[in-house]
Amino acid sequence: MKNKQAITLLFISNIISGFAQGISMMAIPWYFVDVVERPAVFAFFYLLVTFLTLFWGLYAGTIIDRYSRKKVFIYTNLVCGTVIASVSYYGFSVGTVPDFLVLLVFGLTIFNYNIHYPNLYAFGQEITEKKNYGKLNSYIEVQGQFTSMFAGAFAALLLSGTNSTDFSLAGFNISLPFTIEAWSIQKVFMMDAITYFIGITLFIFIKYTPIIKHDIHKGSLFFRLKAGFKYLIENPNIFAFGTLTYMLFAFTLVEVHVLLPLYVERYMNADADVYASAEVYYSIGAVLSGFLVYRFFSSFSEYLSIIILMSLVCISFFGMSFSNNIFLFFATHLLLGISNAGVRIIRTTFLFSNIPNNLIGRAGSVFSSINVLVRMLLIIIFTLPFFLKEDNIRWGYFVGAILVMTTIFSLTYYYLKEKKNLN
């Protein structure tokens, strides 16, 4: 694989910033559910941010295709690091962080996520040979999920603290030689901010030779967006594949930020350690997927591979709707990690192989926008009074199972259609 040093620095930076960012993104939903006890406020803000990303996602794709992807990394990290450091400093100064500033950090992180990962994949496509796309995407998934796994473990420690040397994580009792005081939200944010600046330093030293020429399109925003839409309309199979395979990802994001904290607190009657442990099991599954998915599914078509992976999740979601058994809970998140990561690896490799590099950012923005619309619908559904009453949040997983099942049926149609065309 060429540009190994550049890819290594890219991964190290992603690991460092992703670790602290992962803790922040777990801390904020739990903060509104357990600390200030205003889950509806957080859910409404998440809906608003999701709506705004509908427009930001489209624009972000044009930025990725127009400007140096290395510079995009540097400038976005600079903005995020500066803002989050300022919020943390204010929190230390007055002793607490107002709710609106906590929400600001969450919104900024979501906006950054919507440009960071598309930019990461586009940059990887630009500096990697086509034959190594699958390997690169697996590497990205593995390092990202290793990071999430450790972030989940540390989040459990930092959010709850330890009253004794005994601590519970992922269903296991762990003995520590010391106790840990629960961190304030401003401490979490300061750690998050510092990692952004470390990331900037590493990005500065990245040197690479493009494998694919990054053709810069300088037309108007509308013109650049139109080119992305036009390509997908002219290639309906790619459009359908990309749209359908994003459905599981859409539900997973809503599950993490809206369903999961309420499910743990109100249906399982559990604490932050169980909440954070879900992320640990999810990450273990995703890491396994990164190592095994291409080996296991190499002889299957992309459609059939994704149908199998989504079917596992569908069955598990039905189970969570009717049982709060902790082993089923952990098993479901393990399977969700395997499936969501596997689908993402297969989807990204398929799109890399079929969409030109100068259009990959804008095409990804189209898929992301559809994804946003689905997420908005799900957030609206899950914030209805019915789901916020007592333990009714568990039926959110029933809705998720139906969504995934519908996606499976649609993918099966295109799979059979593809199979017929090949014959």
Q: Is the pLDDT of residue 353 over 90?
A: no
d(CA 344, CA 333): 16
- pLDDT of 168: 59
**Residue 159: pLDDT band by 50, 70, 90 thresholds?**
low
Q: For residues 364-377, give the mean pLDDT.
A: 82
Indicate the Cα dihedral angle 365, 42, 24, 57, nearest 10°.
10
Q: Is the pLDDT of residue 113 over 90?
A: no
| Mean pLDDT to the nearest integer, 170-180 | 61
Give the mean model confidence (pLDDT) for residues 26-50. Answer: 80
The pLDDT-based confidence of 176 (bands split at 50, 70, 90) is low
Q: Which helix (H) or strand (E) holds 169?
A: strand 166-169
Sequence-distant (6+) residues with CB within 8 A of 135 are: 1, 294
Which of 174, 166, 191, 250 is CA-nearest to residue 26? 191
Most confident of 80-84, 240-244, 373-377: 80-84
Dump pLDDT digits (tens) for 94-105: 988 898 999 999
Q: What token pair was written down for 298?
A: 């190499």
Q: Can you give the pLDDT at residue 9?
A: 81
Q: C-alpha dihedral over 278, 279, 284, 290, to 10 degrees?
A: 130
- List the domains of the chain with CATH numbers: 4-206+218-422 (1.20.1250.20)
Average pLDDT, the chain: 80
Residue 169, pLDDT above cutoff 70: no
CA distances from 36 to 98, 117, 305 (A): 11, 31, 43
Exposure class string for 348-357: b at 16+ Cβ within 10 A, else e? bbbbbeebeb
Is residue 300 scored above 70 in pLDDT? yes
Q: Which of 25-39, 155-169, 339-353 has the highest mean pLDDT?
A: 339-353
- Does the pLDDT at position 204 exceed 60? yes
Residue 240 has pLDDT above 90, yes or no: no
DSSP tag of 67: S
Q: Higher pLDDT residue, 8 or 165?
A: 8
CA distance 423 to 419: 6
Query: In terms of Cα–Cα distance, which of 36, 101, 23, 21 is closest to 275?
Result: 23
- What gap in Å lies between CA 92 and CA 106, rounded to an integer? 18
Confidence grade of residue 129 (pLDDT, cut at 50, 70, 90): confident
Residue 332 pLDDT class (50, 70, 90 cuts): very high
- Amino acid 88: pLDDT: 93
Check: pTM over 0.75? Answer yes or no.
no
Instruction: Kindly tell me if the per-residue pLDDT of 401 is higher than 90.
Output: yes
Report the pLDDT averaged over residues 20-48.
Answer: 79
